[in-house]
């Protein structure tokens, strides 16, 4: 039977990760996969995470199953982190998930249960795994214009024009902040327009919030999501704790469903728990417990927020430095967009050949669409990248 299997095309980001690991060059620079690295190239365990784990180790009394939707304290703490303290409690269904990807998967499955003819709108471009999951599920996928290759900003008019084609029963997948792969984000006035348009079309937003705290700060990065949540009767939010808590391998995420009324909330809550059960049964708890411990302890929370701020501002400094180095070498401001982008990523706007040359001749790894991970840089490698960008003629 298994010999009937067809080879799967590898995930481009993960394939690049393997290629980088196999590259013997000492001076190689990994700007591929979206993982934060400090100036020594390490992805550190955050201080508050370490302390929370020590406390859990001391105080945990059992490893028996958690609840099917995950621990209530985790779900409440995360809902508050994402939506703020003014929660629509009567309309809110929540389940813990296996990372942000697990939340996306359960969210799409939930929408498909409610509407077997589901269509999902994704930004052009989007995180490749969005499209891959939708294709795997056989869900019709439509794209809306998003990135303006000229300005390297958002093509907002194109986005709005395309999303006018959305209808009730469709999902519109939005990046809550730190758009992956472009780094170009909506401002709050644009979120406002998107909310109005979605209300007009009757489509349901699915917000992927994987980088809260990496752009403009924890609250600022949730502002678009909160605005949508306050305006629309129905909103799905898939959030990840991988990046902002640095607990990538603990697979910690959450799916929130804001529903039109409490009766629908009960239906959604039941369906989401059922989907957890069918997919993996109980969600993993260790990462969720770390997150709950941090978010509910004022001292740990302060420490976590401080370290997250250091990470965020460190990335902004690297952006500024890169723009400066490129300005000096190019004699122009044409790379200024790198300082306007937010989060880990920027789309440089290089051709696939130029990306290949950077890898082959300089050992600098970018994703094929010329997405670069700013957090893969440090003060010493920024000038190396800037020179290489100029050398290959980007």
Residues 167, 115 contacting (CB under 8 angstroms): no
- 243 given a catalytic annotation: yes
Which stretch of DSSP H or E encloses residue 148? strand 147-148
Beta bridge partners of 347: 371
Give the CB-nearest residue to ligand LMR: 34
The rounded distance, in Å, linking the Cα atoms of 301 and 361 is 44
Neighbours of 65 (CB within 10 A): 9
For 39, other C-beta atoms within 10 Å of its C-beta total 12
The residue (of 34 and 363) whose beta carbon lies closer to ligand LMR is 34
* Residue carrying the six token digits 């409690």: 89
Give me the catalytic one of 208, 221, 285, 303.
208
Q: Which of 36, 127, 245, 362 binds ligand LMR (CB under 6 A)?
A: 127
Q: How far is the CB of 180 from ligand LMR (least distance, A)?
A: 5
Nearer to ligand LMR, 92 or 338 (CB): 338
Binding mask 246-275 for ligand LMR (x = CB under 6 A): ------------------------------
Residue 13 lies near ligand LMR (rule: CB under 6 A): yes
Residue 125 in the binding site for ligand LMR (CB under 6 A) = no
Active site residue 90: no
Q: Which helix (H) or strand (E) element contains residue 172?
A: strand 170-175
Between 13 and 257, name the residue whose CB sits nearer to ligand LMR.
Answer: 13
**13/195 with CB nearer ligand LMR:** 13
37 is catalytic: no
Cα–Cα distance list, 102 to 41, 130, 280 (Å): 28, 11, 10
34 binds ligand LMR (CB under 6 A): yes
Among 52, 96, 127, 239, the active-site one is: 127
DSSP secondary structure string for all residues of 58-92: HH--------TT--HHHHHHHHHHHH-S---GGGE
Among 97, 123, 180, 346, binds ligand LMR (CB under 6 A): 180
By DSSP bridging, strand 140-145 and strand 252-258 are unpaired
- How far apart are CB 243 and ligand LMR at their closest, in Å? 8
Residue 211 engages ligand LMR in binding (rule: CB under 6 A): no
For 135, residues 6+ apart whose C-beta sits below 8 A from its C-beta are 141
Please, what is the minimum distance in Å from the beta carbon of residue 181 to ligand LMR?
7
Consecutive H or E run containing 30: strand 29-30
Is 56 a binding residue for ligand LMR by CB under 6 A? The answer is no
Active site residues: 127, 208, 210, 243
Q: Residues in the site for ligand LMR, rule: CB under 6 A?
A: 13, 33-34, 127, 129, 180
């Amino acid at each position: 039977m298994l010999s009937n299997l067809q080879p799967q095309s590898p995930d481009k980001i993960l394939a690049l990760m393997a290629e980088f690991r196999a590259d013997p060059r000492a001076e190689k620079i990994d700007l591929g996969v979206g993982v934060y690295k400090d100036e020594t190239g390490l992805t550190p365990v955050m201080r508050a995470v370490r302390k929370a784990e020590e406390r859990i180790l001391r105080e945990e009394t059992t490893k028996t199953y958690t609840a099917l939707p995950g621990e209530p304290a985790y779900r409440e703490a995360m809902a508050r982190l994402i939506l703020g303290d003014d929660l629509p409690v009567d309309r809110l269904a929540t389940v813990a998930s296996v990372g942000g990807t697990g939340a996306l998967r359960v969210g799409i499955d939930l929408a498909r249960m409610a509407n077997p003819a589901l269509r999902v709108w994704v930004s052009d471009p989007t995180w490749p795994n969005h499209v891959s999951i939708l294709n795997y599920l056989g869900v019709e996928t439509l794209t809306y214009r998003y990135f303006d290759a000229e300005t390297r900003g958002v093509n907002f008019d194109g986005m709005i024009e395309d999303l006018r084609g959305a209808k009730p029963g469709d999902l519109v997948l939005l990046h809550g902040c730190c758009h992956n792969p472009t780094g170009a984000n909506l401002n709050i006035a644009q979120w406002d327009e998107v909310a109005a348009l979605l209300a007009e079309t009757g489509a349901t937003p699915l917000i992927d919030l994987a980088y809260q705290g990496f752009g403009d700060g924890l609250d600022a990065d949730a502002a678009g999501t909160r605005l949508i949540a306050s305006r629309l009767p129905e909103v799905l939010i898939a959030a990840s704790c991988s990046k902002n808590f640095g607990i990538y391998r603990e697979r910690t995420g959450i799916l929130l469903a804001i529903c039109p009324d409490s009766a629908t909330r009960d239906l959604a809550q039941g369906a989401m728990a059922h989907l957890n059960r069918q997919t993996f049964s109980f969600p993993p708890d260790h990462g969720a417990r770390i997150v709950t411990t941090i978010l509910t302890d004022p001292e740990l929370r302060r420490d976590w927020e401080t370290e997250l701020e250091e990470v965020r501002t460190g990335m902004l400094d690297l952006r500024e430095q890169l723009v400066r180095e490129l300005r000096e070498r190019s004699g122009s401001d044409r790379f200024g967009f790198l300082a306007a982008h937010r989060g880990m990523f920027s789309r440089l706007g290089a051709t696939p050949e130029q990306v290949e040359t950077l890898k082959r001749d300089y050992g600098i790894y970018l994703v094929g669409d010329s997405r670069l991970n700013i957090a893969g840089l440090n003060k010493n490698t920024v000038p190396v990248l800037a020179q290489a960008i100029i050398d290959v003629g980007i």
